[in-house]
Structure 1
């Protein structure tokens, strides 16, 4: 019996202590402290959402999310790249370059950083800086056909037609259906007075992509030798993209002075005036 009472007392004391501990614990607030790993996952998820918003044209919302992602995790160069893209979309070019500089400090061997820089420099007409950034990126990723093409575009703007053609040819060898590079070879050869080769290149570009630019380029090439086909092609080009009726727009697409003169003469043809007026009205309506 004595042993029984001792056991009862011991059990009661244990329960008392347990209840006291539970009571004390119930008064202590509980806080969740996320781990570094969880924070990184969260920032990555926010960055992806920012990129999706950017894709759908929601530029301001994308910028806000990208800023948040970088604030959570400043050691991920990919988040800085996303932020720079959002900043470019919002025309914050200086801030975008600063973001890319921070990405470069984290990982200087990422070619995308230099290609993104070249794009910004190109937009703000700093061609030498754009060229340098492209060359640095290509030293890391030498077979990037888009970067090679962009470098060719800079040489085209500098009227270094022979070297531009070489680069366009190199990008096409990497990606044979890259019609934009084939088209720009046509632009370069026209300025070198090799109109026959321009015709072949514009035709090849059209066979890959029935786009307004090579259509109008080919029309300008054929203006003297086959005016009816030239008019037909020009009508089709202006229907596909009315912007090509505008001299300044074609200049932005890197059309040279000789091809521009030929195109202006073609667009003054009486049989094209209805199409020209319609194209101009569409441009004015959208502006």
Structure 2
């Protein structure tokens, strides 16, 4: 009987010990330490979300997420690229260039870095820097029709119309339906006083994409030849994009002085005044 009681006591003590241990373990917090691989994966997921927000126009939220992604993973050049895009959207051009410098340090053979740089330099009117960045990017990706087109735009801004036209041609050989290049050829030829060729080019651009820019460009070309059609095209253009009523906006789209003058005369036509006033009210 005495031995039996001793066994019972021993078993009770052992049970009590294990029970107390479980109690203690249940009170100790459990920490998860993610691996570097998991952190990298999470940063890329955050980066994708930042890019999606950028696409939907939520620029400030996109910037915050992009900053977080880079903070988690500073060694991924694509995250720096996303951050730079978010910074550009928020007009933080100096910061965007810094982000691209970091991306370049990680991978100097990525053409997108130089094309993004050129876009920023273009926005802040540093044309020579934009040209250099484009040429560097094109040395890596020579068939980028958009980059070739942008290089053409730099020559268009410098009023070197012949070189601009050559580059637009080169862009179109890669992508024949790139209506923006066709349109900008129309802009260049107008400044070279080849109105008939401008008409054909604007018509061709419209056949691919009925955009406000070639519509108004064509209207300005036809002002002296067919005022009825010119007015019809101008009205359609202002409905599609009221911003084209504004001289400064057209200048941002690289319209030359001669085309601007022709367009201003057209927009002063009394039959367009209702449309002009409406367009101005929309952009205001």
Q: Same fold (TM over 0.5)?
A: yes
Q: Which residue of 2 aligns with 1:185?
A: 185
Deviation at 1:242?
1.4
Q: Which residue of 1 aligns with 2:220?
A: 220
Deviation at 1:29?
5.7
Q: Which residue of 2 aligns with 1:36?
A: 36
Secondary structure at the aligned position of 1:88 is classed as helix
- Between stretches 275-284 and 201-210, larger displacement belongs to 275-284
Count residues with an aligned counterpart: 273
Query: Aligned partners of 2:262 and 2:206: how far apart in 1?
Result: 20
CA 227–28 in structure 1, closer or farther in 2 if over 3 Å, else same: closer
Q: 1:86 aligned to 2:86?
A: yes
CA offsets, 1:65-114, max 9 Å, x none? 11111111110000111111111111111111001000000000001101
Q: Which residue of 1 aligns with 2:210?
A: 210
Q: 1:69 aligned to 2:69?
A: yes
Q: 1:176 aligned to 2:173?
A: no
Deviation at 1:23?
3.5
Query: Aligned partners of 1:54 and 1:249: how far apart in 2?
Result: 23
TM-score (norm 2): 0.90
Structure 1 gaps, min length 5: 1-8
Q: Which residue of 2 aligns with 1:249?
A: 249
Alignment of 1:153-168 (within 5 A): 153-168=153-168
CA offsets, 1:42-85, max 9 Å, x none? 11111111111111111111111111111111100001111111
Q: Which residue of 1 aligns with 2:152?
A: 152
Q: Which residue of 2 aligns with 1:48?
A: 48
Q: 1:107 aligned to 2:107?
A: yes
Secondary structure at the aligned position of 2:102 is classed as helix
Q: Which residue of 1 aligns with 2:229?
A: 229
Secondary structure at the aligned position of 1:225 is classed as coil
Query: Aligned partners of 1:216 and 1:147: how far apart in 2?
Result: 25
CA offsets, 1:217-275, max 9 Å, x none? 11111111111111111111112111111111111110000111111111122222222
Deviation at 1:32?
2.2
Secondary structure at the aligned position of 2:231 is classed as helix
Deviation at 1:30?
4.2
Deviation at 1:31?
3.1
Structure 2 gaps, min length 5: 1-6
Secondary structure at the aligned position of 1:159 is classed as coil
Q: Which residue of 1 aligns with 2:4?
A: none
Q: Which residue of 2 aligns with 1:139?
A: 139
Query: Aligned partners of 2:273 and 2:32: how far apart in 1?
Result: 71
TM-score (norm 1): 0.89
Runs of 4+ in 1 over 6 A off after TM superposition: none
CA 72–230 in structure 1, closer or farther in 2 if over 3 Å, else same: same
Q: Which residue of 2 aligns with 1:4?
A: none
Q: Which residue of 2 aligns with 1:119?
A: 119
Deviation at 1:280?
1.6
Query: Aligned partners of 2:276 and 2:33: how far apart in 1?
Result: 65
Query: Aligned partners of 1:73 and 1:278: how far apart in 2?
Result: 49
Query: Aligned partners of 1:241 and 1:190: how far apart in 2?
Result: 22
